Chain A
Amino acid sequence: EVQLVESGGGLVQPGGSLRLSCAASGFTFSNFWMNWVRQAPGKGLEWVANIKHDGSAKFYVDSVKGRFTISRDNAKNSLYLEMNSLRVEDTALYSCASMERWGQLQAWGQGTLVNVSS
């Protein structure tokens, strides 16, 4: 069974940092692109970033460029999102999603909540 389990969320002050993790199981992690998608409370979905199978390519939404870094460790079947200079508007549920073929976000985790507040 495919499983994606996020962790690392929490309450952080504006300007602070957090590192999110996504533990994958039930599929060959190293064959998949991986994505982070966020959802602010009561709002819609926003794609944040993704990373190629081997980590050689990474893409970000403009609002997080220079502040967030996506990475992965295929030996540990894990995806990460390093978030720095956090802003109130980064408050959201952050979910990881796997992608075997382009544009198909086929499996999702339950998400981890990031709350940026003073």
Chain B
Amino acid sequence: DVVMTQTPLSSPVTLGQPASISCRSSQSLVHSDRNTYLSWLQQRPGQPPRLLLYKISNRFSGVPDRFSGSGAGTDFTLKISRVEAEDVGVYYCMQATQFPWTFGQGTKVEIK
């Protein structure tokens, strides 16, 4: 199975400041169709997960442009340019290149 490792596991951030989360996979996430199926999801407290980004850097419908994704192969990053109060929650990376699909452990973003 592909192991997804996120760092940090906790990220205290000042409102208006940037935040960055790293996700590393144990194998390349480049699919045989040449796409890289790495997505990022946000889970606010008490809520189901919400898709933020897919195929590394594509924002899903309705996602603010302060969220961005980058990376390739086995190393990926989610950046929040200016953290807002509504961004508090746990962020997960997920790979859908190889079955079984796997998630990172989650990174908790909280306000300092």
Contact = CB atoms under 8 A, between A and B. Distances in A.
Nearest to A35: B101
Contacts of A105: 39, 41, 49, 51, 94
A16 to B, nearest CB: 24
Interface residues of A, number: 22
B92 to A, nearest CB: 6
B106 A45 contact: yes
Contact of B100 (A45, A61, A95, A111): A61
B5 interface: no
Contacts, number: 61
Contacts of B50: 108
Contacts of B99: 59
B55 interface: yes
A44 interface: yes
Nearest to B4: A44
Contacts of B37: 102-103
B54 interface: yes
A111 B48 contact: yes
Contacts of B60: 104, 106
Given A102-B37, A106-B51, A110-B48, A47 B102 contact: yes
Contacts of B106: 44-45
A45 B48 contact: no
A44 B92 contact: yes
Q: Which one of B50, B90, B96 has the greatest number of beta carbons of chain A within 10 Å? A: B96
Contacts of A32: none
- Smallest CB-CB A-B distances: 7 pairs: A103-B96, A103-B37, A108-B48, A47-B101, A61-B100, A45-B103, A104-B54
